[in-house]
């Protein structure tokens, strides 16, 4: 369990984390959502000891993050930061081997090589393993960083905007893979996501931040409510239920989105209300 207690942090005079308290349960997938500048990356940096907060504590199980050694933390927790990535001229496989550093200290055992190969397989990177990072597309490079994180093989995995630069197929398979890592391997996964629908469909728990505070947290069904989303994002997001999935329609802010007529059903029953609904649906699709 990751336990965040009363964390406050300031840059200059600006409070960016304001008495944040959170419990992130073991073996679950938690998504952190919120607008740009809400404090999500700063929170992840505090949890992973990259930033020392002005006040408060973070525990990973029995480990006090402030006082534990770097080695102890890096065997327990792996973190993908949003920026400041390695840019040296490095091949994909060498980057992924870095993930084994907390164990091998640079001398890889046969077992380390197996883990590296598995991570490359997982992320569809074998054909690119010998390419340099600066010879990859943004999405391919993103997958290489995530393979490095998986190769670290920690119980806790924190990923700041892991879907950045990924196309639809790789985004979807990334989320499926992370869900599997929680379900099958008992990993505790914490993600910063911008796509509320990925958060809704794949998370056990969603934490919503605004202005350095956790405004609300709960299950996807609890968070994916029009009023709640308005409070978090300051946007009017229409929420629909599709086969048990709660989906937020945010591409057409405030537009009167309505269900389209189902195939095989009469287009109109002649009532003025239905004509308006159809007009609204038409508008939504064109917007």
Binding segment toward ligand ADP, per CB under 6 A, in 36-44, 100-108, 126-134, 257-265? 36-44
Kindly give, in sequence order, each residue whose CB lies less than 8 Å from that of residue 221, ignoring residues fewer than 6 positions away: 246
Distance CA 40, CA 279 (A): 39
Number of residues interacting with Mg ion: please give it, by CB under 5 A: 3
Q: Annotate 183-199 with b (16+ C-beta within 10 A) or e (fewer).
A: eeeebbbbbbbebbbbb
39 binds ligand ADP (CB under 6 A): yes
Binding segment toward ligand ADP, per CB under 6 A, in 31-39, 124-132, 236-244, 272-280? 31-39
201 interface partner picked from ligand ADP, Mg ion, none, CB below 5 to 8 A per type: none
Binding segment toward Mg ion, per CB under 5 A, in 19-27, 36-44, 63-71, 258-266? 36-44
Distance CA 100, CA 85 (A): 17
The binder of ligand ADP chosen from 36, 67, 87, 265 (CB under 6 A): 36
Contacts to Mg ion from residues 63-82, by CB under 5 A = 82
285 binds ligand ADP (CB under 6 A): no
Give min distance, CB of 235 to ligand ADP, in A. 16
The binder of Mg ion chosen from 30, 31, 41, 203 (CB under 5 A): 41
Q: Which is nearer to Mg ion, 82 or 252 (CB)?
A: 82
Torsion 184-185-189-195 (CA) sign: negative
Binding interface with ligand ADP (CB under 6 A): 11, 16, 34, 36-42
């Amino acid at each position: 369990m990751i336990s965040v207690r009363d964390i406050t942090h300031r840059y200059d005079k600006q409070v960016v984390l304001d008495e944040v308290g959170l419990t992130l349960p073991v073996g679950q997938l938690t998504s952190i959502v919120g607008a740009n500048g809400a404090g999500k990356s700063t929170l992840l940096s505090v949890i992973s000891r990259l930033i020392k907060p002005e006040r408060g504590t973070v525990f990973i199980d029995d480990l006090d993050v402030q006082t534990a050694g770097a080695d102890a933390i890096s065997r327990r927790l792996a973190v993908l930061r949003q920026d400041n990535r390695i840019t040296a001229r490095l091949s994909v496989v060498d980057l992924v081997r870095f993930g084994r550093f907390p164990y091998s200290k640079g001398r890889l055992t046969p077992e380390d090589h197996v883990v590296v190969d598995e991570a490359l397989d997982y992320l569809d990177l074998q054909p690119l393993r010998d390419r340099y990072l600066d010879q990859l597309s943004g999405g391919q490079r993103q997958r290489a960083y995530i393979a490095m994180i998986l190769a670290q093989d920690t119980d806790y995995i924190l990923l700041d905007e892991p879907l950045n630069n990924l196309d639809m197929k790789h985004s979807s398979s990334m989320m499926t893979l992370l869900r599997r890592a929680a379900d099958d391997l008992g990993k505790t996964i914490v993600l910063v996501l911008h796509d509320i629908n990925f958060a809704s469909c794949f998370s056990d728990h969603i934490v919503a931040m605004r202005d350095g505070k956790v405004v609300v947290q709960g299950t996807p069904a609890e968070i994916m409510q029009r009023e709640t989303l308005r409070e978090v994002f300051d946007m009017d997001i229409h929420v629909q239920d599709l086969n048990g999935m709660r989906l937020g329609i945010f591409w057409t802010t405030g537009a009167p989105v309505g269900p389209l007529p189902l195939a095989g059903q009469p287009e109109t029953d002649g009532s003025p209300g239905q004509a308006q609904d159809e007009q609204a649906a038409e508008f939504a699709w064109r917007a």
